[in-house]
Amino acid sequence: MQRNFLRGLLICLIPTVLFGAAAVFGTYRKGIDLAGGTILVYEVDLSKNVKDKKDAADGDAEGRGLSSEDMHKLAESLKRRIDPVDTRNVIIRPVGGSRIEILVPFTPTAKKQAGTEDFVQEVKDLVSRVGVLEFRILANDTDDKEGFEEALDTVNNQYPPEQAEKDAKFGEAPPVPRRSDYHVSINGTDASNVKYEWIELGKEERNSLGLSNSFGGAEGGKGGLWMQLAAQRGKAVSHNYSNERGERASYLLFSRPFTKVNPAKEEVGKEVEYFILTRVSDQDQVKVGGDINLNAFPESQNFDWAVGFQFNGAGSAKFGQVTNRNRPTANQTVRHLAVLLDNKVMSAPQLNSQITGKGQISGKFTKESVDRLVYILKSGALTAELKPNPVSENSVGATLGEDTKNKGLLAVGLSFGAVMLFMMGYYRFAGIVACVALLINLLLTIGFMVAVNAAFTLAGLAGIVLMLGMAVDANVLIYERLREEREKGATLAAALRAGYDRALPTIIDTHVSSIFTAIVLFVFGNDNLKGFAVSLTVGLIISLFTSLYVTRLIFDYWQSRRWLRELKMMRLFARPNINFMRIRHAMFAVTAILTVAGLGLFLARGDDVLNVDFRGGTVYGGRLAEATGLSTAGGKTGLLDLLSEKRQAERLKVTDAREVTTQGKTDTNTWEIFYAGDPKPAVVTFANKPAGKDDVIKRAEKLPDVSAEQVKVNAMGDDQLPSGESKSFTIRTTEKEKDLVQVMLDRLLRDDNGQPLMDLPKLEKWETTDATTKLFFSKPASVSYVQSLLKRVFHQKSREPLSGSSFVLSPVYSADGTPDRDREAATSKFTAMTLDVSGNTEFAALKEAIESHKTMSRPVVMAAVGSFAPAVLNSPKAEEERAAIDGILTELKTTVESRPVPDRLETFDAGLAKETQSRALFAIVASWIAILLYLWFRFGSWTFGLAAVFCLIHDLCFTLGAIAICHYLHAIPALGTLFQIQDYKIDLAAVAALLTLVGYSVNDTIVVFDRIREVRGKNPLLTEQMINDSVNQTLSRTVLASLTVFLVVGVLYWFGGDGVHLFAFVMVVGVIIGTYSSIYVAAPLLLLFGEGKPKVEAGETTTGTLAKV
């Protein structure tokens, strides 16, 4: 009977067409490395919700703030909120103890700029909310009669106009009664020590009440409540009403004109603000956090959007107590349950009955606002509050240069083409079928990523191609089985059926074990591992569909049409009969030595083998006099070439280093560094005491792990520059001494004639009056940098402990509406500053420091003071003190004009905190345990699982050792050039490669184990010959699968450029060692662990011998 293929064809075509259309016509969100994006820098509001402040040694702005651990927790909370599964490639990293840097990739849409701005605004909205959720009861004139009336009297009769004006200016709530011992009794329950608090109405609840924040009234006209409040601005107003059931409700409102200084961006245009009185007591409020947690989700009823929530056990009990106490009473009084987010009332519905675990936040919500609120509530409250507006917002170019990016994309295409050509050449028609499945796999994978708006990065594209290469493994398994069946004499139809049936358990085992690994990584891993886990799981599921269903459908259809009569294939091995087990002891010895040596070499290098993601370092931001790109092009030397190892070897050759002596005292933290060809030493003050002269010289000769990003500051006209070029830049390095980084970059960023390439500031003049000294510079700078430098330099020279009040530096804003004011807002750098030292009790020490300045062997003055224009110094009035300042300014003029001054110079912590690194390691170990348990279940013995895990550990240790040894090999010209070996450092892409390697290696091992199970059958014994037969029978598949993957990673390694070089290197080594270990490590370990040995009862002996271990 003719088979109907229509259903199967539709099953294949529908998802292919849908996801294919998304892949062809959809918009691709590119990662930072391919497209660049926007950098937002936020500052922690240290005046709110800050714990564990740390004291700074140098008193700078970044030294005062949160601990490193808290900053990492804050960054992780923001990551969970903005990009919970890492599909958007948003990068969040702490900078010092008070700043968070967020890198948002460009978002392509039909209107590219608009799409990017929308996404950036979405990120800003998510960041601006701390996420503290609280439920309170609104005060009413029945239950809260005493407190209600006193609050009304406090605002209307005891609130001085000048205080009201001040509170409005600084955004403070109106006053409440000072008492905190009110007593409220409801429904048989009592609450003492009750107090009251005014809370501002948020946009949603304000709209629900018809209260406009403008003087013009509500959109639908001037409603009754609005009219009532408008007539009594600055007064408290009691509002009473009855609902449809005749129940009475009341609450107390307050409104006033909005006159807040420095309002947040979302408050611009606001004219009126409203507050409502809430009751504060333990019996009448529920604060989410600690033991009380909830899950949030969007809901829609009658086309109105709302946020549903479900408490955990502790939350349900507490919420039930509060709502039961405040349910409607017999006196027909109903109460309002206020929902507060970040101390604003979002919703305040009537409370009609007790609510336990589940509820809903309703109001005038849009779909977008509901989604945003759900994100915030799911991610939990932030550990600290950020200031509402970013301190800087700049565009950054692709972190990979155009040349590197193009090489990587070309290599990705070539590697995919190489795999397809190999499959078609080796398997002929069957290879064409496999290629069709691969193309469908590619369309489905890319279409899925586009559909979920996932970001494409260069390493991610390489990973997709690698996943396709691994997907070939399933086809190879099927085809090699098919060949075996044909050699046994089966017909083509029977061989196809048997090939798929016999390969199915192995394919399922390999995919399920990898999916288990992905699930473990998602549950226990950090955000970066979660992204890897999601993409891996999707790829594996799609691979199962294409390799098992799509290819089988094509073969069956071709056979039904009688187009397929024979399947011709090439043969790699005729009938291999290699005695692998004969040399297993020697191979075990080699394996053990290489594994221990590799791990030891990796550990011996310590932190030096890790890159910035794991170590932290220094970020330096500056501006060139002429625009250039990252790579050299058009006769302009690229920024990466200015920082190259070759240039560092030429420009950073140190001939000597000496400790500085001031007033007869040796300063072990301050050193003079003499560079070749420069008679004047560079003076560097180390924040942490160096180990000695050799340490200083070693560190001063190389800028480690340096990377660069282009930055476009539109407020300074950078948006008019050619594509790929920029004047502003950001450089990162693992060196954490800021002074040393600045000195080295000063030498690197000069032309062949020694002239600075940087756009240098100039001290043009200064003017002294009775009260102030005005400095006029050509360039602006940040307040924190100048503040930190002033204190550090004066402290260094005076050797006296100066307090933080010695220097009070604050910006002076330009007039609103001027270009300078716009630039200040965009760059957070100011054209004027005030430095107040008039009240300084330690000025004698300062004066001594200034006068002793001339005794230094080389002037070390406030280099970066010259980065602002003009600066205003409020100096003491004494003439001699002003003369002392004049003296230092004379030398400052020369110094500041000879040394580049950074726009930004800050230390930053590792992208992954120690806790996060531990979680990542735990996730990997947990994935190994999952593999062990699954294989134990599938093969009926723990030995199979343990052997597979030992094999994985071997592969991982060997690969890590290969990375470590490249540090020594890359310096050998023949190896470094011929084999493109570099001094690799472990980064997040390398972690993803190592995880991919784990998945690939276990697949190889499972294939061998499945054949051992088949050869062994029901025999309880396991012999050397069984293992040899199994390995020989799967040898073709093992080599072919490894060869296809090697084709992919080999092309990526040789032609992919720096963007994917380390990723490809890990996989090249991993493929080779994984193939070796599946033959010489995994299978022999079964014998070593005693698998298949007969159980000898007491008093019995065995006749005959089994495999010798």
Both tokens of 283, joined, read: 């019996």
Tokens 């199915």 belong to residue: 504
Residue range 439-467: mean pLDDT, rounded: 77
Beta carbons within 8 Å of 634's beta carbon, 6+ residues apart:
none
pLDDT over 60 (residue 715): no
Q: Which of 722, 748, 774 is the last residue of a domain?
A: 748
In the predicted structure, residue 585 carries a pLDDT above the cut 70 = yes
Q: Which residue has the higher pLDDT, 392 or 942?
A: 942
Q: Are residues 597 and 568 in the same domain?
A: yes
Of residues 81 and 1105, more confidently modeled: 81
How far lies 750's CA from each of 274, 420, 634, 647, 711, in Å? 58, 49, 19, 11, 20
Q: What is the mean pLDDT of residues 517-536?
A: 68
Q: What is the pLDDT of residue 908?
A: 72
Q: Which of 256-260, 548-552, 790-794, 840-844 has the lowest mean pLDDT?
A: 840-844
Question: Which residues, 6+ apart, have CB-to-CB distance to 708 below 8 Å?
Answer: 630, 639, 640, 643, 729, 730, 731, 732
pLDDT of residue 50: 47
The Cα–Cα gap between 105 and 110 comes to 16
Give 1080's DSSP letter. I
Please give the distance of CA 659 from its chain centroid, rounded to a whole number. Answer: 41
Tell me what the mean pLDDT of segment 989-1010 comes to.
78
Phi, psi angle pair for 229, to nearest 5°: -75, -35
Residue for token pair 């004494």: 878
Reported as a pLDDT band with limits 50, 70 and 90, residue 26 is: confident
Q: Do 359 and 462 lie in a common domain? A: no
CA dist., res. 495 & res. 500, Å (int): 8
Token output for 564: 């397929």
Q: State mean pLDDT over 650-659.
A: 92
pLDDT band at 716 (very low <50, low <70, confident <90, very high): low
Q: Is the dihedral of CA 67, 77, 399, 535 positive or negative?
A: positive
Residue 758 tokens, joined: 């940087």
Average pLDDT over every residue of 965-975: 80
Pair 470, 568 in one domain: yes
Please list, in sequence order, all residues whose beta carbon lies within 8 angstroms of the beta carbon of residue 618, skipping any fewer than 6 positions away: 732, 733, 735, 736, 737, 738, 741, 905, 906, 907, 908
Q: What pLDDT sits at residue 752?
A: 83
Band the pLDDT of 860: cuts 50, 70, 90.
very low
Say if residue 864 is in the same domain as residue 717. Answer: no
Across the range 141-153, mean pLDDT stands at 93
DSSP structure string for 606-618: GGGGB-HHHH-EE
- Residues 691 and 683: their CA atoms lie apart, in Å, by 17
The pLDDT of residue 465 is above 70: no
Name the β-bridge partners of 936.
Answer: none
DSSP SS3 for 212: coil
Q: Which of 642, 598, 593, 532 is nearest to 1063 (CA)?
A: 532
Structure tokens at 39: 């950098």
Residue 873 falls inside a structural domain: yes
> ∠1018-1008-996 over CA atoms, to 5°?
140
| Mean of the per-residue pLDDT values of the chain | 77
- Of 356, 352, 370, nearest to 299 by C-alpha is 370
pLDDT higher at 859 or 690: 690
Check whether 702 has a pLDDT greater than 70.
Answer: yes
pLDDT of residue 664 exceeding 70, the answer is no
The answer to whether residue 13 is domain-embedded is no
Q: In sequence order, which residues have a C-beta less than 8 Å from that of residue 755 and are 6 or more positions away?
A: none
Q: Residue 958 maps to which CATH number? A: 1.20.1640.10
Question: Are 750 and 642 contacting, i.e. CB atoms less than 8 angstroms apart?
Answer: no
Match 């292919």 to its residue by tokens: 16
Assess whether 1020 and 1004 both reside in one domain: yes
Give the per-residue pLDDT at 460: 67
Identify the weakest region by mean pLDDT among 317-321, 438-442, 755-759, 951-955.
755-759
The pLDDT of residue 813 is above 80? no
| Contact status, residue 376 vs residue 309, Cβ threshold 8 Å | no
457 has a pLDDT exceeding 60 = yes
- How many whole angstroms separate alpha carbon 1036 and alpha carbon 1047? 16
Sign of CA dihedral 98, 100, 101, 107: negative
Catalogue the long-range contacts made by 751-755 (C-beta closer than 8 Å, 24 or more residues apart).
none
Gap between the Cα atoms of 1010 and 360, Å rounded: 52
Tokens 């660049």 -> residue: 36
Highest mean pLDDT among 431-445, 662-676, 1058-1072: 431-445
Q: Which of 111, 130, 149 is the last residue of a domain?
A: 130
Strands (E), 613-772: 617-628, 654-662, 665-675, 682-685, 707-712, 726-733, 763-768
- Answer yes or no: is 387 within a domain: no
- Per-residue model confidence (pLDDT) at position 153: 93
Query: How distant, in Å, are the alpha carbons of 395, 624, 653, 728, 823 from that of 712?
Result: 5, 12, 33, 6, 13
One domain for residues 168 and 309: yes
Pairing of strands 726-733, 707-712: antiparallel
Look at residue 1071 and tell me if it is in a domain: yes
Q: Place 372 in a pLDDT band, splitting at 50, 70 and 90.
A: confident
Does residue 370 sit in the same domain as residue 484? Answer: no
Q: Are residues 372 and 489 in the same domain?
A: no
What pLDDT, on the 0 to 100 scale, is given for residue 551? 92
pTM of the model: 0.67
What does the block give as tokens for 913? 């905190």
- Distances, alpha carbon 17 to alpha carbons 304, 464, 467, 540, 678, in Å: 34, 20, 21, 20, 67
Asked whether the beta carbons of 211 and 237 are under 8 A apart, the reply is no
Strands, E assignment, 123-203: 133-138, 182-186, 189-201
Q: Which of 379, 394, 419 is the last residue of a domain?
A: 379
Q: How far apart are CA 65 and CA 150, in angstroms?
A: 40
Task: Let me know if residue 809 belongs to a domain.
Answer: yes
378's CB contacts (< 8 A; 6+ apart) are 80, 81, 84, 295, 296
pLDDT in tens, 891-908: 556 555 556 667 777 777
Same domain, 773 and 737: no
pLDDT digits (tens, 9 = 90+) for 602-621: 888 888 888 777 777 888 88
Percent of the chain past pLDDT 90, that is, above it, reads 12
Q: Which structure tokens are listed for 342?
A: 């970040």
Residue 896: per-residue pLDDT: 56
CA pair distance 159, 172, nearest whole angstrom: 13
| Local confidence band at 952 (pLDDT 50, 70, 90 cut-offs) | confident
Pairing state between β 29-30 and 455-456:
parallel
Determine the pLDDT at residue 236: 94
Q: Which residue has the higher pLDDT, 223 or 639?
A: 639
Mean pLDDT of the 104-110 span: 65
Q: Give the burial class of 602: count Cβ atoms within 10 A of its Cβ; 0-12 exposed, 13-18 middle, 19 or more buried.
A: buried
What pLDDT band is residue 218 in, cutting at 50, 70 and 90?
very low
The parent domain of residue 698 ranges over 615-748
CATH number at residue 90: 3.30.70
Position 271 scores a pLDDT of 87
741-787 pLDDT, tens per residue?
Answer: 988 998 898 888 888 888 766 666 666 665 556 666 677 766 665 66
**963, 1068 contact by CB (below 8 A):** no
pLDDT at residue 858, as a whole number: 31
* Contact assessment for residue 1078 and residue 1027, using Cβ atoms and an 8 Å cutoff: no
pLDDT at 890: 61
Q: With bands split at pLDDT 50, 70 and 90, how would you rate the model's confidence at 59?
A: very low
Q: How far apart are CA 750 and CA 224, in angstroms?
A: 70
Per-residue confidence (pLDDT) for residue 679, from 0 to 100: 84
The DSSP result for 578-589, as a single string, is --GGGGHHHHHH
Note whether residue 32 is domain-resident.
no
Q: Which pLDDT does position 552 carry in this prediction?
A: 92
Kindly state the average pLDDT of the residues 259-277.
83
- Please determine, for residue 238, whether its predicted confidence score (pLDDT) is greater than 90: yes
Structure tokens at 62: 């970044």
Look at residue 31 and tell me if it is in a domain.
Answer: no
Residue 617 pairs with which residues in a beta bridge? 908
3-state SS assignment for residue 863: helix
If one compares 965 and 759, the residue with the highest pLDDT of the two is 965
In one letter, which amino acid is 591? Answer: T
What mean pLDDT do residues 627-631 have?
Answer: 76
What confidence tens digit (pLDDT) does each residue in 184-202 have? 988 888 888 899 999 999 8
**Which of 54-63, 246-255, 333-342 has the lowest average pLDDT?**
54-63
The answer to whether the beta carbons of residues 503 and 478 sit under 8 Å apart is yes
For residue 258, how far is the Cα from the chain centroid?
37
The domain total for the chain is: 5
CA dist 107 and 415 (Å) reads: 28
Amino acid at 218: A
Estimate the crossing angle of helix 429-451 against helix 527-544, to 10 degrees: 140
**658 close to 672: Cβ distance less than 8 angstroms:** yes
Token look-up 């459908």 returns: 553
In this predicted structure, the answer to whether residue 842 has a pLDDT above a threshold of 60 is no
Contact status, residue 41 vs residue 390, Cβ threshold 8 Å:
yes
CB 29 within 8 A of CB 108: yes
For residue 450, being part of any structural domain is answered with yes
Do residues 860 and 812 share a domain?
A: yes
What 3-state DSSP class applies to 349? Answer: coil
Q: Is the pLDDT of residue 948 over 80?
A: yes
Question: Taking each helix axis from N to C terminus, what angle separates 942-969 and 1061-1077, rounded to the nearest 10 degrees?
Answer: 140
Residue 62: per-residue pLDDT: 40
Rounded-to-integer distance, Cα 734 and Cα 907, Å:
9
Whether residues 418 and 362 fall in one domain: no
Query: Do 658 and 736 share a domain, yes or no?
Result: yes
Pairing of strands 304-311, 294-301: antiparallel
